[in-house]
Structure 1
Amino acid sequence: MKSARRSGVDKISNLPCNVLDGILGCLSLKDAVKTSILSKNWRYNWVTRTELDFDYHLFRSLAHEQEANTIIYQVLLLHKGPILNFILSGSNLISFPEIDHWILFLSKKNVQKFTLQIYSRNSYHLPSHLFTFKQLRHLELGMCLFHPPPGFKGFEKLINLDLKDVTFVPAVLKNLISRSPLLERLRLCWCTNFDTLEIDAVNLKCFAFRGASKSICFKNAPMLRKANVYLTSPASADASPVCSNLTKFFCYMPRLMELDIGGFLLKYLTMGGLPENALTTLNNVKSLRIGGMLFRTVEEVSCVIYLISSCPKLQELTIECETMNTMNDVAEPIVQFLRDQSSLCGVVKILQRVYMCMFSGLEMEIEFVRSILAYAPVLEEISIWNYSCLLIQTGKQLTDKMKQFHQASPNVEIIVDEVDVED
């Protein structure tokens, strides 16, 4: 830099255009635009930037939405060339006609990644221009109304679809998935309630769902590696036995490696009863997380034991408890059931880490831990935590008690963390 100043040669400005674009691409949009004041040569270097990110940082720094609208209009007016990635997300983003204009402008820019997060009491009705984005590969929407125009044939190049608080006719999602043959990642969070959610996507690798549905059915997901399903509505009494049967539910995801389930899904899965034999489709699962475990019925606990015993390659297990102290009256049958269990013997032989969250120290929870300790020969760590005010016993008391249990692994470390409310 000293040598450049002495010689009077501006080496940075003389770099190839693609190198300059790469440098500007490493900066935030705000900082990239600021480079226009460096010199006449730099005044318009940023206008070919392929990523435009108008996120919450921009809106947070401005007092009024109109200021942000003016900035966005100026940037789009001066921009030249394709815009591959466009992000629009802000708390002041409530002027929908302007967004319509911006999306119309973007429809001619070969956008590959489009993110629109609306923070408003009213959902934004997506304009028809969005459905003409032929090069779209990543689509992330929040608080929108998704109603494609007649004749919409899907996004043929779409790889990632992320929808949060999006309203649509369920048939629209089904058609969108079927017409997106390259889809690998699908996330649905707090979207339209479904009578039946059907997943038929031959290239899908990651799936996440949080919301309400009377039934869930995986019809075809041979490449699925990671599934996260959190059902927020009670299981429907008239749910299809095909969907609420454990064997049928996991039948079409033979390559699953990470499974994360919670909410009312456990109850939903046990409606069809438990199969006699372990599920071979879970043979590749290495990580299992169960959220909202209530330890309230033998059926629910037996379902968890069954899932664990169906995962012979399981290395990491996480149980998020939601047991209330008033549930001691149901402890005896569950404790007895766990004591009679030997199905984990020889199954959890490579289990290495167990995490028990929101652990209260109730008898059925402790008995569950005892079962794991007794049958996991290479277990390295079992970590238990909850707020100290919710623990029935102190962390030290729980640790001392569990160290007295029979331990199949000679090297297991038992950790009980008490978290103060202030923390």
Structure 2
Amino acid sequence: MVPPNGKKQCLPPPHVLSNLHESVIGEILMRLPLRDAVRTSIISKKWRYNWCRLPQLKLDQTLWETTEDLTSPAIGFANIVYPLLALHTGQITEFTLDIPDLKTCPNIDNLIHFLTRNGIQHFVLRPPLGDRYKLPSSFFTSLRLRHLTLQRCIIRPPPVFKGFDGLISLELSYVEISSEFLGSLISHSPLLENLVLKDPRNSNPIEISAPKLRSFVFLGNIHLIQMKNVPLLSNVSFEPTEFPVDAERDPANIFESVPALENLCWNQLMVLDAGPFEVIPTRLPFALNCLKRLYLSWITLREFFELSFALFLIRSSPYLEEIEIEVADDAFVNPWDTIDEIPASFSDMTFNHLRIVKINNVVGAGAEMQLIKVLLAKSPALLRMIIKLCLMEDKSFKILAEITKFHRASFRAKVVIM
């Protein structure tokens, strides 16, 4: 076959692959799916069983996909996984078991026991949907563990277990674990830098004390989180499933213990229990002086509470460099009082560091236009404002015409409307 450029392509001689250095072969194998890595044994004697010394193994659904008339998934799992591990001769430092599509969870207690005895450092476990898998006691002897990801598991440690001394990253999703032990696990992981908690199955406050923590992602009732000692925490992503706000639950409590916060992502996907409108203050009693990037997702700027909360965060962050807002396309609400108050609430502010603003799904509502107007007028260093409209073309021209009349504090500011 002649390629499009008209030049003949010459395949490398068969001996080239066989002459590769073993370190190169190892790098190639680690970049292949495990099934393909095993198949390389047929290339030559030099390649045969090289995969048996791989320190990283990823076992996912493709390893035991069978048709319905063949063996059950659980039996197929055992017939593939355990012989594979029996052939493995090297140390396994990184292991991923990702089997969400199986109907039931096979017995993997022996597998976990095998990994803990082989010095596992990076462990990812995503068992099947349905009943959660209870981790065996052998799991808590993984003294060399550095990175841990668990989904749909039950964690009930033995009384003597406190935590993993060398743990650097921890991700728990839909895991059943007591608030007390979760707090203890975090505090007894002195090297912990990255933490992800998604819908932890408990209803008690979770205390987070992690002096080296730098990144935190949380999905759940945000008022269950109590930050105690996080002096280096700079990247935070919140997706509250519950966010009741009243006189006793001040939103300022969420941010007062995060002094180094630089990047904040707030994903709002639920209707919030706002209580009285006046519970959202104009701004925090302290400024978020380190906050540089603010991302607000699915915020309804046409709804009173969510608009007030978005303005509350922006006004509390005088050193912002980037703002991005993903406007939710919800039912139209007219917070007329709030619209009229927007310019006055920013009268004493200037965003001297703000350079990039992105606002998506704009429909031209009063609150949206007022916010755009204020940011243009209060940002002397602004370079670009990108506005993505969610309108018919004829209405877009009207919005464009209105925005072009807004005063710009920065002569370099370029407004891009899409």
TM-score, normalising length from structure 1? 0.84
**1:363 alignment partner AA:** G
> C-alpha distance in 1, partners of 2:369/2:247?
35
Query: Which range moves more in the overlay, 143-152 or 181-190?
Result: 143-152
Which residue of 1 is the match for residue 358 of structure 2? 355
Partner of 1:279: 286
The within-5 A match list for 1:253-268 is 253-263=258-268
Deviation sequence 1:210-267 (CA, Å, 0-9, x none):
112444321110011101112111416585x5xx352x43333222210112437895
| Equivalent in 340, 343, 367 of residue 339 of structure 1 | 343
CA-to-partner distance for each residue in 1:70-117, whole Å, 9 max, x for gaps? 222221110012101101112333443432221121111111100011
Aligned counterparts of 1:233 and 1:245: Cα–Cα separation in 2? 13
Contact 1:308 1:344 in 2 (8 A): no
CA change 1:29–1:62 in 2 (3 A) is: farther
- The one-letter amino acid of 2:48's match is R
Question: CA 1:276 to 1:416, structure 2 compared with 1: closer, same or farther past 3 Å?
Answer: closer
In 2 relative to 1, CA 59–408 (structure 1 residues): closer, same or farther, beyond 3 Å? farther
Q: In the alignment, which residue of structure 2 is the partner of 1:404?
A: 405
Q: Give the drift of 1:51.
A: 0.5
* Residue 307 (1) aligns with residue 313 (2): yes
1-side partners of 2:96 and 2:33: how far apart? 12
Q: CA deviation at 1:181?
A: 0.7
* Change beyond 3 A, Cα 1:59–1:227: farther
The one of 197, 201, 206 aligned to 1:192: 201
5+ residue gaps, structure 2, are 1-9
- What is the letter of the counterpart of residue 117 of structure 1? R
In structure 1, which of residues 77, 87, 105 is the aligned counterpart of residue 96 of structure 2? Answer: 87
Q: Is 1:249 matched up with 2:258?
A: no
Give the SS at the match of 2:410: coil
Indicate the SS of the match to 1:259. Answer: strand
Q: The residue matched to 2:402 in structure 1 has which SS? A: helix
Q: Match of 2:324? A: 318
Q: Tell me the distance in 1 between the aligned counterparts of 2:247 and 2:315.
A: 29
CA positional deviation for 1:180: 0.7
Report the identity percentage. Answer: 32
C-alpha deviation, 1:315, in angstroms: 1.2
Picking from 296, 318, 326, the partner of 1:290 is 296
**How big is the shift at 1:395?**
2.2
Instruction: Report the Cα offset of residue 381 of structure 1.
Output: 2.1
Give the whole-Å Cα distance in 1 for the aligned partners of 2:259 and 2:66.
Answer: 48
- Whether the 8 Å CA contact 2:245–2:279 is kept in 1: the answer is no
**Alpha-carbon spacing, 1:197–1:394, altered in 2? closer, same or farther (3 Å):** farther
Give, in whole Å, the separation in 2 of the partners of 1:276 and 1:11: 67
Equivalent residue, structure 2, for 1:99: 108
Report the CA distance between 1:359 and its aligned residue.
2.4
For residue 107 of structure 1, give the secondary structure of its aligned residue in structure 2. Answer: helix
* Contact 1:278/1:306 (8 A) holds in 2: no
Cα displacement (A) at 1:157: 0.7
SS at match of 2:157: coil
* Aligned residues of 2:284 and 2:312 also touching (Cα < 8 A): no
Inter-CA distance 387–100: structure 2 relative to 1 (3 Å threshold)? farther
The whole-number CA distance in structure 2 between the counterparts of 1:292 and 1:162 is: 24
Secondary structure at 1:36 match in 2: helix
Q: How many angstroms does 1:405 deviate by?
A: 1.1
Q: What is the match of residue 51 of structure 1?
A: 56
Alpha-carbon distance between aligned partners in 1 of 2:120 and 2:289, rounded to the nearest angstrom: 40
Conserved in 1, the CA contact under 8 Å of 2:245 and 2:273? no
Deviation (angstroms), 1:137? 0.6
2:7 alignment counterpart: none
- The letter of the residue matching 2:179 is P
Q: Look up the match of 2:379.
A: 376
Task: Please give the alpha-carbon distance, in whole angstroms, between the structure 2 residues aligned to 1:19 and 1:361.
Answer: 57
Which residue, out of 208, 221, 224, partners 2:230?
221
Q: Partner amino acid for 2:39?
A: K
Normalized against structure 2, the TM-score is what?
0.85
Matches within 5 A, 1:27-46: 27-46=32-51
Q: Pick closer, same or farther for the CA change 1:15–1:361 going to 2, 3 Å.
A: same
- 2: CA distance, partners of 1:168 / 1:43: 44
* Distance change in 2, residues 1:404/1:119 (3 Å): farther
Whole-Å separation in 1 of the counterparts to 2:90 and 2:104: 26
1:24 aligns with 2:57: no
Inter-CA distance 213–271: structure 2 relative to 1 (3 Å threshold): farther
Alignment equivalent of 2:190, drawn from 181, 184, 197: 181
Distance 1:190 1:386, change over 3 A: farther
Other structure's SS at 2:204 match: strand
Alpha-carbon shift at residue 311 of structure 1 (Å): 2.5
CA offset digits 1:125-152 (Å, max 9, x no partner)? 1222211111111111111112222211
Could you give the per-residue CA deviations for residues 182-218 of structure 1, whole angstroms, max 9, x where no partner exists?
Answer: 1000001122243323221101000010112444321
Other-structure match for 1:421: none
The Cα RMSD (Å) is 3.1
Secondary structure in 1 aligned to 2:28? helix
State whether residues 246 and 274 of structure 2, in contact with CA within 8 Å, keep that contact through their aligned partners in structure 1. Answer: no
SS of the residue corresponding to residue 415 of structure 2 reads: strand
Q: Supply the distance in 2 between the matched residues of 1:77 and 1:381 (Cα, whole angstroms).
A: 59
Query: Is the CA contact 2:104–2:128 (under 8 Å) kept in the aligned structure 1?
Result: no
SS in 2 for 1:96: coil
Q: 1:356 to 1:4 in 2, by over 3 A?
A: closer
SS in 1 for 2:332: helix
Counterpart-to-counterpart distance in 2, 1:251 and 1:277: 9
Structure 2 vs 1, CA of residues 218 and 4 (structure 1 numbering), >3 Å: closer, same or farther?
Answer: closer
Measure, in 1, the Cα distance between the counterparts of 2:390 and 2:84.
Answer: 49
Aligned residues of 2:227 and 2:257 also touching (Cα < 8 A): yes
Secondary structure at the residue paired with 2:385?
strand
